[in-house]
């Protein structure tokens, strides 16, 4: 029995979406069983072959129009993939970042030529995408980005260092946040695409060791006089980078809420099943009033989160989701996810602390949801500005 009593919003129950959901679930069962995901975790990286397999199955660039090689879907398809990845415990395979965060920058701001060059390769899995905003000294405060892109004839010369970049070891295409005019602050910031195989002076640093999401190759990147053609700038003119980021970050923040609710529901499903089996003092754990009350609270909050997120998905599909509301989803759901996963882990007792139990991995994987995509404190700063 599913953890929640309520139905999904109607637009998520459309026949084609339900069929798509089944096919994604089947794909993940076949291509990302725990035995394979476990190897990725040990290696600290997802096999490149998995990206090709996802591309062949039509799971990359879900919202990119077919003329650019994409699946021609809408944000509901992104939602389905994110939810299934969370529900099947396939953490670390950052297809959703590639699909719902990186590809949209090219789709929305790229020239016709850029779209035709890069999107079909991203859709097939030939090119894996990353976005490089954060730097060792500039995370929350992106205006402090030091990476520079100096104009030299018909080329930009990029210098700088990025860190915490998801897909960092695998990335073939990196959308780099750089200052094209450092004297202008935010207005001197631009987004420039670097194709890593063509970029002399581009180096990958450490694949960073993390407390969770171990299969994800979150890395340092270095740019040492990397030359790219000026035609790699996203947007018609320089200085648009901050505006482009502000326009796209709400979707990134909503995706964190979407995956957060899916994790919450999985945690509840697993825990409810466990407390009905496990016995102590001659009765099942579910028979203790403490267990019932804890899970009643979790179920209530999970239901509130589900209704909230589905409503926001609906607003986003209509193009009406504002930045502050997306920030609410990001911070509130990720806080709730951490709280509920922690409560569930407690109900597993010692087993909850064992990495072989999914709840233990969910505990470690969830922690970063409060940090990346803009920390939860920054979300509150953004919300507070609208008061
Ligand atoms: C696993 C992982 C994957 C990531 N993937 C990517 C990626 O693909 N691309 C990318 O560009 N970045 C990525 N990041 C970076 C991430 O977005 C940043 O870590 C995040 O934005 C926070 O920046 P910071 O780490 O520099 O922390 P800081 O900015 O140094 O913040 C430290 C603390 O101070 C708080 N703080 C800062 N400013 C304020 C303020 N004004 N008011 C109140 N509190 C404040 C923060 O909330 C935080 O608690 C990733 C990070 C991780 C851990």
Q: If phi over 0 gives left and psi between -120 and 50 gives alpha, with beta otherwise, what is residue 171?
A: beta
Nearest CA to ligand 1 atom 24: 139
% residues pLDDT > 90 (the chain):
98
Q: What is the distance between the alpha carbons of residues 344 and 274, in angstroms, rounded to a whole number?
A: 10
Distances (CA, A) of 114 to 52, 81, 85, 106, 230: 21, 26, 29, 7, 12
Whether the CB of 164 sits within 6 Å of ligand 1: yes
Q: Does the annotation count 220 as an active-site position?
A: no
Contacts of 91 (CB under 8 A, 6+ apart): 37, 85, 212, 213, 215, 216, 361, 365
Mutate to test the pocket of ligand 1, among 44, 142, 164, 214 (most ligand atoms within 8 A of CB): 164
Query: Tokens representing 358?
Result: 């999914």
Ligand 1: centre distance to CA 249 (Å): 14
> How large is the average pLDDT for residues 354-369?
97
Nearest CA to ligand 1 atom 12: 134
pLDDT at 199: 96
Q: What is the distance between the alpha carbons of residues 73 and 343, in angstroms, rounded to a whole number?
A: 37
| Residue labelled with tokens 């998801």 | 166
pLDDT, one tens digit per residue, over 124-179 is 999 999 999 999 999 999 999 999 999 999 999 999 999 999 999 999 999 999 99
Whether the CB of 212 sits within 6 Å of ligand 1: no
Q: What is the distance between the alpha carbons of residues 186 and 5, in angstroms, rounded to a whole number?
A: 46
Q: Give the E-state strand segments of the chain in sequence order.
A: 129-132, 148-152, 155-165, 173-179, 189-195, 202-207, 219-229, 279-280, 283-284
Query: Tokens representing 276?
Result: 């009905």
Confidence of residue 309 (pLDDT cuts 50, 70, 90): very high
2 pLDDT exceeds 70? no
Q: What is the distance between the alpha carbons of residues 151 and 310, in angstroms, rounded to a whole number?
A: 45
Ligand 1: centre distance to CA 226 (Å): 26
Per the DSSP assignment, residues forming a β-bridge with 207 are 219
> Reduced to 3 states, what is the DSSP secondary structure of residue 200?
coil
Whether the CB of 114 sits within 6 Å of ligand 1: no
Confidence of residue 4 (pLDDT cuts 50, 70, 90): confident
1 pLDDT exceeds 80? no
pLDDT, one tens digit per residue, over 288-307 is 999 999 999 999 999 999 99
Confidence of residue 3 (pLDDT cuts 50, 70, 90): confident
Whether the CB of 166 sits within 6 Å of ligand 1: yes
> No. of H helices and E strands in the chain?
12, 9
In 3D space, the residue among 240, 160, 143 whose CA is nearest the CA of residue 199 turns out to be 160
Q: Which of 83, 195, 214, 252 is catalytic?
A: 252
Whether the CB of 377 sits within 6 Å of ligand 1: yes
Ligand 1: centre distance to CA 139 (Å): 5
> How large is the average pLDDT for residues 59-87?
98
In 3D space, the residue among 140, 137, 110 whose CA is nearest the CA of residue 122 turns out to be 110
């Amino acid at each position: 029995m599913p953890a929640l009593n309520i139905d999904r919003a109607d637009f998520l129950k459309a026949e084609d979406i339900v069929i798509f959901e089944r096919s994604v679930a089947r794909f993940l069962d076949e291509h990302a069983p725990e035995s394979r995901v476990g190897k990725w975790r040990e290696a600290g990286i997802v096999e490149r072959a998995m990206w090709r397999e996802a591309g062949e199955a039509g799971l990359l660039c879900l919202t990119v129009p077919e003329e650019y090689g994409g699946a021609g879907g809408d944000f509901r398809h992104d939602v389905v993939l994110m939810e299934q990845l969370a529900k099947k415990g396939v953490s670390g395979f950052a297809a959703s970042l590639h699909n719902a965060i990186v590809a949209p920058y090219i789709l929305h701001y790229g020239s016709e030529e850029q779209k035709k060059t890069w999107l079909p390769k991203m859709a097939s899995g030939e090119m894996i995408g990353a976005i490089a905003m954060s730097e060792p000294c500039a995370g929350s405060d992106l205006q402090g980005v030091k990476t520079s892109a100096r104009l030299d004839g018909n080329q930009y010369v990029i210098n700088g260092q990025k860190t915490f970049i998801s897909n960092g070891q695998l990335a073939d295409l990196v959308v780099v946040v750089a200052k094209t005019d450092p004297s202008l602050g935010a207005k001197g910031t631009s987004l420039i695409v670097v194709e890593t195989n063509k970029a002399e002076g581009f180096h990958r640093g450490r694949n960073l060791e993390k407390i969770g999401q171990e299969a994800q190759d979150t890395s340092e990147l270095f740019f040492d006089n990397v030359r790219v053609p000026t035609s790699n700038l996203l947007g018609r003119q320089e200085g648009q980078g901050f505006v482009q980021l502000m326009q796209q970050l709400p979707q990134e923040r909503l995706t964190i809420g979407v995956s957060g609710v899916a994790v919450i529901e999985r945690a509840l499903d697993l825990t409810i099943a466990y407390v009905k089996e496990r016995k102590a003092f001659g009765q099942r754990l579910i028979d203790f009033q403490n267990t019932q009350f804890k899970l009643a609270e979790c179920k209530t909050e999970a239901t509130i989160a589900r209704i909230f997120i589905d409503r926001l998905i609906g607003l986003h599909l209509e193009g009406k989701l504002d930045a502050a509301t997306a920030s609410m989803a990001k911070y509130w759901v990720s806080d709730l996810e951490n709280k509920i996963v922690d409560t569930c882990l407690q109900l597993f007792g010692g087993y909850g602390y064992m990495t072989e139990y999914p709840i233990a991995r969910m505990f470690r994987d969830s922690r970063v949801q409060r940090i990346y995509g803009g920390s939860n404190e920054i979300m509150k700063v953004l919300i507070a500005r609208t008061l």
